[in-house]
Amino acid sequence: MEKDGFFYVKGEVMSKDLKIYNSLSGEKETFASIVPNQVGMYVCGPTVYSDVHLGNCRTFISFDMIYRYLLHLDYKVRYIRNITDAGHLENDADEGEDKISKKARLEELEPMEIVQKYATGFHDVMRLFNALPPSIEPTATGHIIEQIEITKSILEKGLAYESNGSVYFDVMKYDETSNYGELSKRKIEDLISGSRALDGQQEKRNPLDFALWKKASPSHIMRWPSPWSDGFPGWHLECTAMSHKYLGDEFDIHGGGMDLKFPHHECEIAQATAYTGKKPVNYWMHTNMLTLNGKKMSKSTGNNLLPYELFSGENQNIEKGYHPMVARFFMMQAHYRSELDFSSDALNASEKGFAKLMSGLGLVPSLKVSSESSENVKQMIEGFYAAMNDDFNTPILIARLFDAVTYINKVNDQKAEISAVDRDELAKVMQELVSDVLGLQPILASGLSDDAKNTLDATMDIILELRKNARAAKDWGTSDLIRDKLKEAGIVVKDEREGTSWSLQ
């Protein structure tokens, strides 16, 4: 519908145009929520046994953008992102030591001290990246009862079995009536032929079977009583328990990194279907991986980069530190389903692009207006939303925002024209998309306290007054020196007809 001469881009009208790539079908599908105007979304959160890595951050920042855009379209969103604080073993085949227990033993701490330490660190990093908190952030240890009850139910239905105090999901039995492998597009025959025997798997009827409940060894620290043994829940089970509790038998979106597609998400589908008789999720979404300088990130080879190393530059793989907003902007310049390579060259280019975008955005409200616009602003805005409605295509959105910045700069230089209505609408929509959807903040606002901002403003007023005096005295050497030194310090000075302005790079 029309609103003040513009296409009303939020709400039900625009929502009908949103398409999402569904990993389950392998196609882009028009999004339709189960409950009109409401969205249930679950994203697999971190296992808090170490510092969160950039690959995790990319996934959570991508789903933060998706969450923000759904809110922008006026959906009421219940966003669940869990904390894994128990049950995640070193090996996906249900073998090895619990990752948190192992770290606790190495650091001589209680497991919950490890959980608290790294969960706090995770939240600190997410705040620096300006990620919104989820609606609910449940923990695996907070839902042991629910996991036991689901295990009981699946046992009663004959789709699981007890073996020596552990309970395993019977994949072959499930596959008789369902399709194990439907998400990852794997055939069960190929999975069976490709599996290999591992120590301790004699408890299983089939190597593909996975644990719903594991009996704890005498040395296992984290354990809970159950009808079968003192033990702990299987890693896959926790997400089914928490998503079911807070989103129901069926919900709209389940997300995570592509490394979770198999076996984790495949097992989630099987468990939930066995428990409720319904397929749990309508749209499965997966983010792609990160590389560093064209190679896979790896701690063992040293080709690795942690968030704080990215911010500080204290890593031999990058030439300097980058602000969290620059790093977030860099991630938004790639589609969430595409591989993203971190390098100094790419980050430097993003740093300049971020400064250009923020500078242009800041100019819009003060642009001088004319009776008509020399560009079709309505079409420009519709192009922004066409990009986002095409499976959250942030790189295309950013490219179109840069086209708008080019137009804004022309208007500012009096080489193009814009009407008052167009200017106000462009200012409003660009601000909402950049700030509310992409989650980008001006570096000054995100990096400094109010007192520091005031001090910087006052300092820059003095410096620019000195430069103005130098220019009035035709002392061009001093004027240029001030400008160049400020640029080296990350401050861009721009001389315009209305006066001199400055901004942080």
Q: What is the tens place of the pLDDT at every residue in 33-65?
A: 999 999 999 999 999 988 988 989 999 999 999
Report residue 11's pLDDT band, with 50, 70 and 90 as the boundaries: very low
Position 505 scores a pLDDT of 55
Q: Rounded to an integer, what distance in angstroms lies between the CA atom of residue 493 and that of residue 252? A: 48
Note whether 491 and 504 are within 8 A (CB).
Answer: yes
Which token pair is 348? 């430097």
Q: Under DSSP, is residue 141 helix (H, G, I), strand (E, B) or coil?
A: helix
d(CA 58, CA 38): 25
495 touches 413 (CB < 8 A): no
91 burial class (0-12, 13-18, 19+ CB within 10 angstroms)?
exposed
Cβ count within 10 A of residue 412: 20
SS3 229: coil
Give the pLDDT score at 300: 67
Predicted pLDDT of residue 450: 63
pLDDT (0 to 100) of residue 1: 35
pTM of the full predicted structure?
A: 0.86
Q: Which CATH class is domain 33-287?
A: alpha beta
* Burial zone of 373 (CB within 10 Å; 0-12 exposed, 13-18 middle, 19+ buried): buried
**Cα–Cα distances in angstroms (integers) from residue 387 to residues 131, 331, 357, in the given order:** 21, 16, 17
Average pLDDT over residues 429-444: 94
The SS3 of residue 248 is coil
Q: Quote the CA–CA distance of 181 and 210 in Å, as a whole number.
A: 14
Q: Is residue 254's pLDDT more than 50?
A: yes
Q: What is the torsional sign of CA 331, 335, 337, 339? A: negative
Per residue in 81-109, pLDDT (tens digit) is: 999 988 566 555 566 677 888 888 888 88
- Mean pLDDT throughout 326-344? 97
Greatest alpha-carbon span in the chain: 91
- 291-444: what fold? Isoleucyl-tRNA Synthetase; Domain 1 (1.10.730)
For residues 143 and 225, what is the distance between their CA atoms, to the nearest angstrom? Answer: 13
What's the rounded mean pLDDT across residues 191-202?
64
**CA dist 454 → 218, 444, 448 (Å):** 60, 11, 10
Q: Is 493 helix (H, G, I), strand (E, B) or coil?
A: strand
**Domain residue ranges of the chain, discontinuous segments joined by +:** 33-287, 291-444, 449-504
pLDDT digits (tens, 9 = 90+) for 147-177: 999 999 999 999 999 999 999 999 999 999 9
Helix (H) or strand (E) holding 243: helix 235-247
pLDDT band at 4 (very low <50, low <70, confident <90, very high): very low
- How far is 61 from 128, CA to CA, in rounded Å? 11
- Shortest CA distance to 430 belongs to which of 362, 376, 366? 362
- Which tens digit of pLDDT belongs to each residue from 213-223? 999 988 888 89
- 498, pLDDT greater than 50: yes
CA–CA distance, 280 with 248 (Å, rounded to integer): 8
The pLDDT confidence band at residue 303, using thresholds 50, 70 and 90, is confident
pLDDT surpasses 80 at 273: yes
The rounded distance, in Å, linking the Cα atoms of 365 and 412 is 11
**Contact between 222 and 111 (Cβ < 8 Å):** yes
